[in-house]
Amino acid sequence: MPVTARRGFFEARGVPELRIEGSGREDAGRLVRQTSGVELAPAVVTRLVEATGGNPLALIEIPPLLHERQRAGLEPLEDPLRAGVAVEHAFGARIAALSPSARRALLVAAVSNTDGLSAIVAAAAGDSAGLDEAEAAGLISAEGERVGFRHPLVRSAVVGAAPAGERRAAHASLADALDGLDADRAAWHRALATLGHDERVAAELVRVAEGARRRGGAEAQARLLERAAMLTPDRERRAERLHDGGRAAYHAGRADYGRRAIGPGAFACRRRAVARRRCRGPHRGRARQG
């Protein structure tokens, strides 16, 4: 009996359909070991199953794309995960057939870390018709104020197919749409839209990281400070933020990365920066007294 993939992705009119569920964590780990010889930490297998819906093709293609530290669970995986060539090809033709406005709206939805319809439509220049077209193509579903992808791998394929400049533009649009609504998420998207160094954007991320620390979100704090360090133009301040991000990563369970970020170079540079600030006060005080 002919078997087809889930309706909505491949055309199979008049052919009986058998819906196949994705692999669970144990089966996924076994599949990865047997097909690629790659050993993954249990938490990484769980994350892969969540991100791929247990799709066997993706579970075969994605692990070799991860570097060793990601496989061991010492560094976070990308979000969304980069899909393999075959997976991107499976969805690529359907994405490419959309109009430019629909592809733009779809990309905004894919890079957004929310399923809120209002923010996504606003970031897509108010173009709800583009989302309607993507829904008609079977790539997303919209219900009430929520937008969801029909399959997690569609999101990966959309992001993977977009040039870096278009991804940055989508993040910039989301940052503008979220200004005044959610300052923390706006700061994160603005950081992902920024090329090179920008102290203003970096300082805003540090503010958001402090909020995450107060809420006990060490993993979020670490990622925010890591990104802030990348955007920081001053070398000593960059080292200080990298050091603080490393400490947060350590507390979040990424001990090996934490030790590297807190390493001798960053720690020494941070000490010099602190010592210099301490020295400036007395010098300024004596200058005023003189």
pLDDT of residue 171: 96
223 and 172 inside one domain: no
In three-state secondary structure terms, 39 is: coil
Structural contact between residues 54 and 21, judged by C-beta atoms closer than 8 angstroms = yes
Q: What pLDDT band is residue 278 in, cutting at 50, 70 and 90? A: low
Q: Is the pLDDT of residue 207 over 80?
A: yes
Is residue 183 in a domain?
A: no
**Tokens matching residue 54:** 């247990």
**The last residue of a domain, from among 147, 178, 209:** 178
160: in domain: yes
With contact defined as beta carbons under 8 Å apart, do 155 and 80 qualify? yes
Residues whose CB is less than 8 angstroms from the CB of residue 11 and which lie 6 or more positions away in sequence, other chains included:
none
Q: Which residue has the higher pLDDT, 93 or 287?
A: 93
3-state secondary structure of 141: strand
Mean pLDDT over the full length of the chain:
80
Q: What does the pLDDT read at residue 15?
A: 53
What's the token pair of residue 261?
A: 């970020």
Domain of 109?
89-178
Kindly state whether residues 168 and 198 are assigned to the same domain.
no
72 has pLDDT over 60: yes
Q: Is residue 104 scored above 90 in pLDDT? A: yes
Burial class (CB in 10 A: 0-12, 13-18, 19+), 180: exposed
C-alpha to C-alpha distance for 56 and 59, rounded to whole angstroms: 5
Distance CA 127, CA 140 (A): 15
Q: Which has more pLDDT, 269 or 168?
A: 168
The CA distance from 143 to 52, in Å, is 22
- The verdict on residue 241 lying in a domain is yes
Which DSSP letter does residue 64 get?
Answer: G
Please report, for the domain that includes residue 166, its CATH number.
1.10.10
- At 188, the pLDDT band (50, 70, 90 cuts) reads very high
Q: Residue 117 above 60 pLDDT?
A: yes
Whether the predicted model's global pTM rises above the 0.85 cut? no
Residues 101 and 152 in one domain: yes
| pLDDT confidence bin for 61, thresholds 50/70/90 | confident
Is 172 found in the same domain as 107? yes
Please check whether residues 37 and 98 belong to one and the same domain: no
Taking alpha carbons only, the member of 120, 118, 94 closest to residue 107 is: 120
Cα gap 80→149, rounded to integer Å: 12
What pLDDT is stored for residue 48 in this prediction?
83
Give the phi and the psi of residue 40 in degrees, each rounded to 5. -115, 145
Clarify whether residues 95 and 148 are in a common domain: yes
Same domain, 174 and 96: yes
184: in domain? no
Nearest to 188 by CA among 205, 207, 176, 169: 205
List pLDDT tens digits, range 153-166. 888 889 988 999 99
Predicted local distance difference test score (pLDDT) of residue 268: 55
200 plus 157 within the same structural domain = no
Q: Which is nearest to 161 in space by CA: 109, 213, 83, 215? A: 83
Q: How many domains does the chain have?
A: 3
Residue 243 domain-assigned (yes or no): yes
Q: Three-state SS for 148?
A: strand
**Domain CATH number, residue 285:** 1.25.40
With beta carbons less than 8 A apart as the criterion, state whether 70 and 44 touch: yes
Q: How far apart are CA 91 and CA 272, in angstroms?
A: 52
CA atoms 92, 98, 103, 107: torsion sign: negative
Q: What is the pLDDT of residues 128-151, one digit of tens each?
A: 899 999 999 989 998 888 899 988
Q: Per-residue pLDDT averaged across 18-25, rounded?
A: 57
Rounded-to-integer distance, Cα 244 and Cα 267, Å: 10
68 and 94, same domain (yes or no): no
Task: Provide the token pair at 140.
Answer: 């997303």
Please determine, for residue 227, whether its predicted confidence score (pLDDT) is greater than 80. Answer: yes
Q: What is the rounded CA–CA span in Å between residue 251 and residue 209?
A: 14
Average of per-residue pLDDT across 78-107 = 84
Q: Is pLDDT above 90 for 259?
A: no
Taking only the tens place, the pLDDT of each residue in 232-258 is 999 889 988 988 998 898 888 877 667
The larger pLDDT score, comparing residue 44 to residue 271, is at 44
Q: Is residue 156 part of a domain?
A: yes
